[in-house]
Structure 1
Amino acid sequence: MSRPVILPEPRTTIETADIERVRGLLGGPDPWGRGTPLHLTASALIVHPPTLRVLLRWHARQQAWLQVGGHADPGESDPLRIALREGAEETGLADLKPWPDGSPVHLVIVPVPAAPHDAAHEHADLRFLLATDTPDMIRPENPDAPLRWLALDEARKLTTEANTRETIDRAATLLGA
């Protein structure tokens, strides 16, 4: 049995509104189902605490450097497990572990543009931090999804998404940087 979905404490008025929308989703039949205009996803910013670096992945659909993550597979409903699975699939890192404690650090509702196989929709993205002890073992899942280890300031500059910069800032605080 999976754990109930725990939401982070909101830090901004936007995050407060997003959390209220997600609370409404959680009362529905399948908050993870891709068939609704707003559904849950889980992602993670992967950190290497000894070097104060974070890992970003190029997302072609969004045309941006972002954290790793994505949709639940059928039958999945534990956001941390989803983030761990997605993280391993997208990076090749076999040693990912929740850091510092497995609690979500951020919740963001993000628009997803339409694609040939699906309409524009929104992701209610629960974000975690995951750590690795083997940063040199990264392997992109495909050539169109390169990965880059970056210092915190480099990562902030590389991403075009303000919500990703906020996730990086929250990681920096927890890293003591």
Structure 2
Amino acid sequence: MTSTDPLLPASDHQRRARLLSLVGAVEPWDDLERAHRGTATRWIAGGAPVHRVRKPDVPATHLVSYFVVLDDTRGQLLLVAHRKAGLWLPTGGHVEPGEDPWATVVRECREELGIDAVASPITGERPLFLTVTRTRGQGAHTDVSLWYLLEADARTVTSYDRDEFEAVRWLTDEQVLDEPAELLDPHMHRFTRKLRHARSRGQHCG
């Protein structure tokens, strides 16, 4: 095991080094993602607190792990209607203090969808995409989000967290891109285009 193994206790320095490695490995899809990667890098390296310690907005910026579930055979992505956000989003959640972002994916996937997290061979256990987003409504804050890619057979997703989500939908990339942007996470169209490119290459974009 290495010092960055998520199963081992890690110092703040080690955790930040791990985060910087994850962020640095993301190959920007466009100028906006390049700018977001720079913002995230400076935020992590600058020593600011990175984990949410009190809902909804303490500290004002905190780390999130998104995970997009892909049924590669059907070519469909899973999106959820998030009750608080009022948008169709990928599943995910806040990274807890001391938690590795991939461990967040594993935990939240079990809690929200009732399935085990299986990393897509396209990406492995590394994020494909990175965003820095100001949330809307009461308790607005900034999410620095690492977007992971999971694989699953759509037939295995038979339940979801109804406290958080009103509904779930499986959509092809074309269907996602046809959805009005204002109904989705503001970066969902960009993620979908990057994923389509990664699938065509059959490898990680980073």
Q: What TM-score range do you get, normalising by the shorter chain? A: 0.7 to 0.9
Shift of 1:29: 5.1
How big is the shift at 1:37?
1.3
Cα drift, residue 24 of structure 1: 2.1
Distance 1:164 1:11 in 2: 13
Q: Which has the higher contact order (CA 8 A, sep 6+)?
A: 1
Alpha carbons 2:84, 2:164 under 8 Å: kept: no
Quote the RMSD (CA, aligned, Å): 2.1
Provide the C-alpha distance between the structure 2 equivalents of 1:71 and 1:141, rounded to a whole number of angstroms. 16
| Pairing 1:83–2:102 present | no
Contact 2:60-2:142 at 8 Å conserved across structures: yes
CA offset at residue 57 of structure 1? Answer: 0.6
Alignment of 1:6-85 (within 5 A): 6-7=22-23, 8-27=26-45, 28=47, 30-34=49-53, 35-76=58-99, 78-85=100-107
TM-score (norm 2): 0.74
Deviation at 1:137, TM superposition (A): 2.5
CA deviation profile, 1:38-64 (whole Å, cap 9, x unmatched): 111110111011111110011122211
Q: Could you tell me which residue of structure 1 aligns to residue 160 of structure 2?
A: 140
One-letter code aligned to 1:87: C
Is 1:97 the counterpart of 2:118? The answer is yes
Consecutive unaligned residues in structure 2, runs of 5 or more: 7-14, 202-206
Q: 1:156 Cα shift?
A: 2.4
Percentage identity across paired residues of the two chains: 21
Q: CA deviation at 1:112?
A: 1.4
Take 2:94 and 2:164, find their aligned partners in 1: how far apart are those partners? Answer: 19
Could you tell me which amino acid in structure 1 is paired with residue 188 of structure 2? T
Could you tell me which runs of 5 or more consecutive residues in structure 1 were left unpaired when the two chains were aligned.
Answer: none
- TM-score, structure 1 as length reference: 0.85
Structure 2: distance between partners of 1:157 and 1:61: 23
How many residue pairs get aligned? The number is: 171
The aligned residue for residue 146 of structure 2 is: 126
* Deviations, residues 80-124 of structure 1 (Å, cap 9, x unaligned): 221232223222223x21112222111111111243xxx210101
